[in-house]
Amino acid sequence: GDIAHLYLADGSAPITGRSFGANTSAKGEVVFNTGMVGYPEALTDPSYRGQILVLTFPLIGNYGVPDEGIKDAYGLPEYFESNQIHIAGLVVSSYSWEHSHWAAHKSLAKWLKDNNIPGIYGVDTRALTMKIRSIGALLGNLVVNPSDEIESDMFSDPNKRHLAKEVSTKEVKVYGEQNTTSVIAYDCGMKFNIIRYFVDTHQVKLTVVPFDYDLEANPANIQWDGLFLSNGPGDPSMCPETIKSIQYALKLEPPRPIFGICLGNQLLALAAGAKTYKLKYGNRGMNQPCIDLRTGRCYITPQNHGFAVDTKSLPSEWKQLFMNANDLTNEGIVHINKPFFSVQFHPEASGGPLDTAFLFDKFVGHVRKETQPLVLQDGLSFMKKTYKKVLLVGSGGLSIGQAGEFDYSGSQCIKALKEEGIEVILINPNIATVQTSSEKSDTTPAADKVYFLPIRPHVVMDIIRKEKPDGIIVSMGGQTALNVGVELWNSGELQKAGVEVLGTQIPAIEATEDREIFSQKLAEIGESIALSYSATNIDEALEAANKIGYPILVRAAFALGGLGSGFAADDEELKDLAAKAFATSNQILIDQDLRGWKELEYEVVRDSSDNCITVCNMENFDPLGVHTGDSIVVAPSQTLTNREYFMLRKTALKVVRHLGIVGECNIQYALNPKSEKYCIIEVNARLSRSSALASKATGYPLAYVATKLSLGKDLVTIRNSVTKTTTACFEPSLDYCVLKMPRWDLKKFNRVSNKLGSSMLSVGEVMAIGRTFEEVMQKACRMVNPALDGIEGAGSGLTSDEIPLEEQLSTPTDTRLFAVQRALEEGWGVDKVHDLTKIDKWFLSKLQNIASMRNALVKSGNLERSFADNAADRMRTLKIAGFSDRQIANYSNLLPLQEGAAQVRDLRKSLGVTPCVKQIDTLAAEFPANTNYLYMTYSGNHDDVSSSFDGPVMDSTDSFTPRKEFQNRVRSVSMAEKRHDAVQESKDRGVVVLGCGAYCIGSSVEFDWCAVSAVRQLRKDGFKSIIINYNPETVSTDYDESDRLYFEEMSLERVLDIYEREGAAGVVVSVGGQIPNNLAGPLAESGAHILGTSARDIERAEDRRQFSDMLDDLGVKQPQWSVLSSKDEAVEFSNKVGFPVLVRPSFVLSGAAMRVASDETELRNFLGLAADVADDKPVVVTKFILGAKEIEFDGVANGGKILNYAIGEHLENAGVHSGDATVILPAQKLYVGTIRQIKKSAAAIAKALNITGPFNIQFMGIENDVMVIECNLRASRTFPFVSKTLNANFISLATRAMCGLNVTPYNISLLDIDYVCVKAPMFSFTRLRGADPTLGVEMASTGEVACFGDDAHGAFLQSLLATGFKLPKDGAPVLISIASDPFRHEFAQSAQTLSKMGFKLLGTPGTASFYKDNYGLDITEVTKPVDKDDSGPGSALDAIKEGGVELVINISEGTTRRDEITAGYLVRRAAVDFGIGLITNVKCAVWLAIAMGKGMQTFKAKSISEFYSLHKN
């Protein structure tokens, strides 16, 4: 587009942008509208006459403009509010040149040109809105292709014109001639939807007259029973003729009803003798909350006016009817005894919500002389119950489908309850969470008592009997908590104990969970779900499927995240799927297949007074067919028109009210992409993953508000926690766009298909915030996978050259996005990609923009060439589209990349292209917000927050010249000497804490606990705390936790942007897991000050070769190792030390690509894998020691001296990844000599690496011999476990040490601790179809739990139960299959115990004969399976599927992961698929038998504080 300028009358420099409308100039009053949809409606609204309209939502033009030629029954254009565009000019941030919608006829740009209206894009609309908000509405002049001469009459004030006269009809028109009720409507700029409402909805004969029609003289001799006053532009006092006619009507006896809207409200007030005044900037948008002063109910209303009625000036017989809940201005008036009333908002709403359409019913009822129903307050606010003690049920260990989002919602819930002075009891065995912390402070309250116990109905009842709470909350702990609540309610135990369920009641929850009831409920209000039938056996399932017609979707009822579901194309596939689904549920659902439809979701909040709002709507990037947890999700929706958006919103409110939900819920829809047909997929009557996402996307804390509502509070009295001044009864307006991208870890599992379907597979997610779709898409790719520099096709390394691209596009997988990008880069058109993927063309056109920019850079291939002309413009365009410096360096062939990126950064800064900081304030800058919730973007030129310092602390003491292979990494050194005098300056400047990033296997909620502990400690010590993280499921990204929250990527580029902008004193990289730790070197090299252990020393621990050399120097033992330079050398080394050997790369998390090779073939295969992972970093081969014990050492050091430590022992032998091991603390079975050796080695390592901060060392012990496996100079997964067990927060201590404060160690005496804590891993094998549920050196668990006990075996059994493990019932069959004699011997005594306890033992041939021959055990032999269909009578698979086996103990021979499908694999997989307890480790099997033998299944519920007091005594 051409250059365009917007001149403002405040004398500021003109705002520059590009034109996308008519090539002309326009003068007018500059106003803003915060609506997120509805530009065709807004532009044709006569009330905008003479105004230059700024749209705060940044992405405009997405769905084009409908056909003006389509007329309704009255000859009015179907999709518009008048016959022309009334605005003078349009100002937007980002214009979409490609639109996509079935109803679109032309683009917005073409429509503007056809109507000769100028438009400008590329404007920082947020900064402009803030200016209008603070100065007031301004006069402006929008000029395309400006010349140098300044016009003499630069500005003209439209309010001086008679605007109502300009837009009013010139003749009398009649609509609905056939109707009997007659209403006369004064047209001062009436919207067409008002006509449709009267004539269509209410069967009124509507006579529309000009604004100056003389009603008393009535020249047209119109018969009328009621008078309507329309909306319109400008100053009401300029319509004396209208006012005169109203005054005539007011005097008539008997009185005839009068109703006014918008300008009509002001005209009625003036006619009654009141005054009006001009507002500073008017109310324009779709989310103004208005309180009905008759009932106290609050409604969300659309508005467009610049003048208001002065309530104080109303004569005595008039009263205020509605009031704005935010700025308390007048929103309506009513006569005390005559049928006259008016409102300032638009009940007919187009665009906007229709929540107040009942006012039309009221007016038409008056006209027809029908008696009006009495409207009263519900009195609920006077019946508030008070609660003294509430039990909150958590969600347990993290699993696929139920992850960290429930730590966030639970923490918010605790905060809300504590504010009300309620005692909080929490049950949650997930020790890694923030909500189970017991440290309290003023800003961060904690639960009063925490029970680390299995979340089972009988356990919850034990706690209820002991604690006697008066309320229970089951909506904040995912499906786990919900299921327990439903069970206890249905059994009547909650009612008997007098415990009230807070929030949504159980019958309402059941109505959403049971498809039959749900379908019935929806039918009652004329809504429908997709065709769906339930079945309780295979025959019913087949019958249902044939009724609907294949393909169909199979799902298990009452299951989490689509567990046990899939698509079936014929009877055979259905039989197979149904059998598995029946294993997890006794009812399955057969659904119509709506793949290819759009999937949308609304988050809805309702209080007990029936105030109801939608907080956020979201649109899936992928069409229906992919579980929403596995889909890319965009908020707000991008391709819905005003009609679709509000149609679905209206349905949402109707459904939620009908179900009787109190608190928060979400509703999912399928929308036909070619019409307005939709059906409801489901309602979740609890907080879900998308609630956490919506809270972070909008800044509206759903869990906090839902908790307050469950206590009986109403939405109007709760404050908006971002603005602190406005009400929580509002719908957030976003002036940015948010994209959630899932994170999968499917590569870790053999035989797991990466196809996405109706069952969720992702383990985590990221959220990117920006002002263009391209920007958020590129940001999200870098967040989800730090190895990516943005969205790439072939360059991502994630597409296949073997599989045809068509096939990669047509099947949804975890890498399909990159295949789509590859197709676009290779010149496939948007249409072709759309046909294969059914992804909306609007999204695809945005990806195509990225592809064409990339191709242009690649073609140029040279930085100077690419930026030869218009350098600043080109650079800004690339940055607005989300390109990173590394991406630009890569396409410009600047290698090595890190130095290339630095070169691009320097060029960019020299061109003045830097990101600006924007706030998330929930109201699109309409109200001042003192919020610390921030993101960065290049779509803007104005910072919302000021930076406090001139520049950050930069490290210049560069004293080491690294060896060549590290040349491109670390350059930093510890600054211990200069520390103490700088502490005060550090407090003011602040400390940047890098968070955990996306959850994945190996880095999960425990690192969020670490980051939150660090930030809380910083605040306690008076440091300004700045957190960077992009994971919406976390507590660390709650804006209450830090002084500044940057919801941003943790790339080197962005961390430096924030570090420099904040002028920070240093960065903490050691509390967020591996991602921040890997940044230590590059950050230090760029001059950032790393707090704690220096980057140089971090590298010495991470790099295998340097670390091993150091151990040799210190004389600390380690297994024999060798650094690999060729496969042959590795084989030679392995033969020398003897197989098995362990292959491991450096700088990785959770054993990625770690494998144990038991022979030469395996070794050669694995070496290929490891080299792929570690790029240029060394791969090490180590002697693997069988039968050794692994020991975990967690410590905090200061200047190389250890302050505190904890030693935990693994129950399983070495060879199981420490994240998958069962850990016991304090260690129970270590020799005193072993402990002494461990302490000595750890002290030597801490000193040699000069550690300051948290660290973790893994040791291996055989007899009394101790060897070091590895050392991490960061917090490890076990820090929360250790801190909570020993009641001493290791991270708080480490944070103080890293900041240079004086630290004293905690007084921990391990000998005095009279209890044991056992941490058990939580797996998600049920979800990962085909994965082998066995343990090895690469981590597979998705979460963890821990339980306390007076005895280690009891704590072990409880923690096993807390993972969801099912114990066998008395006398049930137990299947034992153990591969080798040593393991069979080890388990022999336990087998005897099980037999004595009355269990019926079954064994595979080798195991059965071993126990019969050697121990005379009564054990029935079953055959081993050859393949998955080998399940005839007498076989192991038959025993599992049909024979009622309730426990499977299957111990394979070693730690090797073989690819061939073994009998053991088939048995293990069958156990998981049929929901049967499975133990695959001999040590765990022995402990389980001992615990069951001692009768430890029953235990007394004890809270953590009761265990701590044992220690104190």
The half-sphere exposure of 162 on its side-chain side, counting CA atoms within 13 A, is 11
**311 contacts 276 by C-beta, under 8 angstroms:** no
567 close to 552: Cβ distance less than 8 angstroms: yes
Q: Cα separation of 1063 and 1061, whole Å? A: 6
SS (H, E, C) 364-387: HHHHCCCCCCCCCCCCHHHCCCCC
CB 586 within 8 A of CB 658: no
Strand (E) positions, 167-326? 173-175, 181-187, 204-210, 226-229, 258-261, 275-292, 298-310, 318-324
| CA distances to 644, 1321, 1334 from 749, in Å | 42, 17, 10
Altogether, the residues listed in the chain come to a count of 1513
Please classify residue 1427 by burial: count the beta carbons closer than 10 Å to its beta carbon, then call 0-12 exposed, 13-18 middle and 19+ buried.
Answer: exposed
- Cα separation of 1483 and 586, whole Å? 34
CA distance 230 to 1239: 83
Distances (CA, A) of 1404 to 665, 828, 1372, 1396, 1398: 49, 56, 17, 20, 19
- Round to whole Å and give the CA distance between 1018 and 884: 31
- The rounded distance, in Å, linking the Cα atoms of 1449 and 1378 is 8
Please give the structure tokens belonging to residue 351. 């665009």
Assess whether 729 carries a catalytic annotation: no
The answer to whether 921 and 735 have CB atoms below 8 angstroms apart is: no
Whether 1102 is a known active-site residue: answer no
Residue 1116: beta bridge partners?
none
- Structure-token match 């923690």, residue found: 1359
Token readout for 1076 is 């921040």
DSSP character at residue 1353 = H
Query: How many whole angstroms separate alpha carbon 639 and alpha carbon 644?
Result: 9
Phi, psi of 1240 (to 5 degrees): -65, -45
Antiparallel, parallel or unpaired: β 181-187 and 226-229: parallel
Bridge-based pairing of strands 1155-1157 and 612-620 is: unpaired
Which positions ≥6 away from 718 have C-beta within 8 Å? 705, 708, 709, 727, 728, 729
| Catalytic, out of 5, 86, 202, 262 | 262
CA-to-CA separations, 820 to 744, 794, 826, in angstroms, rounded? 18, 10, 10
- What single DSSP character describes residue 789? S
Distance between CA atoms of residues 1234 and 1225, nearest Å:
15
Distance CA 897, CA 894 (A): 6
Q: Are 501 and 490 a contacting pair, CB within 8 Å? A: no
Would you tell me how many other CB atoms lie within 10 Å of the CB of residue 962? 16
Whole-number Å distance between alpha carbons of 686 and 705:
13
CB of 1449 closer than 8 Å to CB of 1377: yes
Positive or negative: CA dihedral 914, 919, 925, 929 = negative
Catalytic residue among 346, 366, 1089, 1210: 346
Residue given tokens 């380690």 in the structure block: 1118
- Of the residues 348, 619, 775, 1270, only one is catalytic, namely 348
Residue type, 1221: A
List CB contacts of 267: < 8 A, sequence separation 6 or more.
186, 188, 229, 236, 239, 242, 243, 246, 260
Does the active-site annotation cover 348?
A: yes
d(CA 91, CA 128): 10
DSSP state of 401: T
Q: What amino acid positions are annotated as catalytic residues? A: 262, 346, 348
